[in-house]
């Protein structure tokens, strides 16, 4: 992961446009959807973690508080040219560290069916049955931090 820097940004950061473009390209366009058709106003209340190579965002993940003890992980995206290098796992560790420092007890997420093995490798466990979200199968997954 040489030359990869990790940062936390907010919705006003200059890198936010790159985050939106990455998420749209990797998470919405393959489904025939556009992130820009969604109401993104709630993202001001979320924390965004990014991996940067040079001046480019190559990966991101968002977290949002669900009460005082739980954070929900959302919108994990790693540019295809950077996948398989441990960047996604490192971003998850950053988000978990952020949660632990804030007194969070557990992290939850809705994993796309294809991403379940990744999250299992990060220590998340599935809960309940597969459900549909944005037209594709997902599984609720959780990880206790303490």
When pLDDT is cut at 50, 70 and 90, the band that residue 37 belongs to is: confident
Residue 43's pLDDT is what? 85
Using CA atoms, how far apart are residues 105 and 122, in angstroms rounded to an integer? 16
Using CA atoms, how far apart are residues 127 and 131, in angstroms rounded to an integer? 11
Phi and psi torsions of 89, nearest 5°: -65, -40
Digit-coded pLDDT (tens) for 96-127 = 999 999 999 999 999 999 999 999 999 999 99
Using CA atoms, how far apart are residues 57 and 3, in angstroms rounded to an integer? 12
Using CA atoms, how far apart are residues 76 and 74, in angstroms rounded to an integer? 6
Judged against a pLDDT cut of 80, whether residue 28 lies above it is answered with yes
Q: Which domains does the chain have, with CATH numbers?
A: 4-144 (3.40.630.30)
Task: Please say whether the beta carbons of 106 and 95 come within 8 A.
Answer: no
Question: Mean pLDDT over all residues of the chain?
Answer: 94
């Amino acid at each position: 992961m040489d030359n990869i820097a990790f940062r936390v940004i907010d919705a006003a950061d200059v890198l936010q446009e790159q985050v939106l473009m990455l998420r749209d390209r990797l998470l919405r366009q393959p489904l025939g959807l556009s992130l820009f058709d969604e109401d993104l106003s709630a993202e001001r209340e979320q924390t965004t973690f990014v991996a940067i190579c040079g001046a480019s965002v190559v990966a991101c993940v968002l977290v949002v508080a669900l009460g005082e003890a739980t954070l929900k992980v959302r919108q994990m995206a790693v540019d295809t040219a950077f996948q398989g290098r441990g960047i996604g796992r490192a971003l998850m560790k950053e988000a978990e560290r952020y949660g632990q420092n804030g007194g969070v007890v557990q992290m939850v997420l809705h994993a796309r069916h294809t991403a379940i093995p990744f999250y299992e490798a990060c220590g998340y466990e599935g809960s309940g049955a597969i459900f549909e979200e944005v037209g594709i199968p997902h599984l609720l997954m959780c990880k206790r931090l303490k």
